[in-house]
Amino acid sequence: MITLVKPTEIDYLRYQSMVDDAHCKGIKLTPRPFHYENTETGQQYYDLYGCIGWPYEDEDKKKGLPGYVAIVAAVKSNRPADQAWFRLMDEAESEYLIVLFQKIQEMRDQFGFGEHPELLKTFIGDPDKNITDLVSYNADLERFGKKDREIILAPPLDLYDTEAFDNYKRSMETAILNKPERFAFGGNSILRTKHHEYRRNNPAIFAIGGLVHTLLHTTPWMDQQQENMFVVEEGV
């Protein structure tokens, strides 16, 4: 179970001291004042992120590739915050969109959806594909009073670059091969298998590669220190 760990007053004072130090040193980014914890393992996370790769039909081989959804955590450890490593928490694949949407909901519930307003609210994926199906699915949720569970997609960084897939694959490989590594498969096997039996435009590699590429270049678990508006009395 994933829970939100809010800072105590002492934590906040330490956090404010870190922000002040960042101002003095010209540091632009600081870790956010809250994080998450896995109550079963004790592992802590700066944040968790979801991604989706749409099913792909290979025109040459006439053989489709199933779509893929996953949750990845930015792990809070003794490494510098901006060098956090990423752990694949869970994954699933299917050729059917409705199954992918259902898997997203199951994974959200498993990994703390609702603990914080922004936790797993948005998934990284191509928002221009399968729009009709996603809009229809979200409309059904709203009709049954579940609008808060709608699936919102945001594009991975550089999605519209003509070499997007190559860039994503390269970012994923860099994270895996980095010493120390910045991406771990955990106990999951789908992506590990797809990675070894490489096929171009594979949805699993596109989804994880796009997410890792985005995380490496934007560090969204870090705050712009001039935008820090945290107030301890109001919580987070």
How much is the average pLDDT of 188-199?
A: 92
Output the average pLDDT for the chain. Answer: 88
CA 173, CA 161: separation in Å to the nearest integer? 19
Is residue 41 situated within a structural domain?
Answer: no
Is residue 232 situated within a structural domain?
Answer: no
- The pLDDT value recorded for residue 20 is 54
Q: How many CB atoms lie within 10 A of CB 182?
A: 22
DSSP 119: T
CA 57, CA 65: separation in Å to the nearest integer? 6
% of the chain exceeding 90 in pLDDT: 73
Q: Phi first, then psi: give them for residue 79, nearest 5 degrees.
A: -75, 155
CA 233, CA 229: separation in Å to the nearest integer? 12
- The pLDDT value recorded for residue 28 is 52
Closest-CA residue to 229 (of 60, 80, 12, 38): 12
- The pLDDT value recorded for residue 101 is 98
pLDDT tens digits along 142-177: 999 999 999 999 999 999 999 999 999 999 999 999
Q: How many domains does the chain have?
A: 1
Is residue 183 situated within a structural domain?
Answer: yes
- The pLDDT value recorded for residue 155 is 98
Structural domain of 126: 47-219
Are 111 and 2 in contact by the 8 Å Cβ rule? The answer is yes
Is residue 37 situated within a structural domain?
Answer: no
Flag whether pLDDT at 79 surpasses 80. yes
Is residue 117 situated within a structural domain?
Answer: yes
Is residue 134 situated within a structural domain?
Answer: yes
CA 75, CA 44: separation in Å to the nearest integer? 6
CA 76, CA 36: separation in Å to the nearest integer? 9
Is residue 163 situated within a structural domain?
Answer: yes
How much is the average pLDDT of 96-116?
A: 97
Under the banding of pLDDT at 50, 70 and 90, the label for residue 223 is confident
- The pLDDT value recorded for residue 59 is 63
How much is the average pLDDT of 199-208?
A: 94
How much is the average pLDDT of 201-210?
A: 96
Closest-CA residue to 79 (of 45, 53, 110): 45
- The pLDDT value recorded for residue 229 is 40
Q: Phi first, then psi: give them for residue 154, nearest 5 degrees.
A: -125, 140
Q: What is the CATH number of the domain that holds 59?
A: 3.30.420
Full-model pTM = 0.87
Under the banding of pLDDT at 50, 70 and 90, the label for residue 14 is low
CA 90, CA 10: separation in Å to the nearest integer? 34
Place of tokens 């989804």: 207
Enumerate residues 6+ apart whose C-beta is below 8 A from 14: none
Is residue 83 situated within a structural domain?
Answer: yes
